[in-house]
Amino acid sequence: MAAQPNGSAENSRSPRNLPGPAWASALGVIVIIMGVLLTATHSNEWMKHSVLSRAAPSGEVPSADCPEDELEEEGITMAECEYMVSRLQGLIVSTPEWFPGLLSALSSVGALVAFATIFVGSGLVSFRAWAPRAGVFALSVLLLVDIGIFVAALNAGPIIRDIYLWDVLLWLTIHLILVTAFVVGVRTMRSADVSCRPESAG
pLDDT at 185: 82
Rounded mean pLDDT for each run of 10 residues along the chain, 202 residues in total: 46 49 87 95 87 62 71 80 78 82 91 95 90 92 95 90 91 94 82 55 44
pLDDT at 60: 60
DSSP 8-state class, residue 126: T
pTM equals: 0.76
Domain parsing of the chain, residue ranges: 22-58+97-195, 60-96
Please name the residues in contact with 123: beta carbons below 8 A apart, sequence gap of 6 or more: 28, 130, 131, 134
pLDDT at 114: 95
pLDDT at 169: 93
pLDDT at 11: 46
pLDDT at 1: 44
Residue 42's nearest CA partner among 151, 180, 164, 157 is 164
Residue 94's nearest CA partner among 46, 164, 146, 41 is 164
Please name the residues in contact with 78: beta carbons below 8 A apart, sequence gap of 6 or more: 66, 71
pLDDT at 63: 66
pLDDT at 142: 95
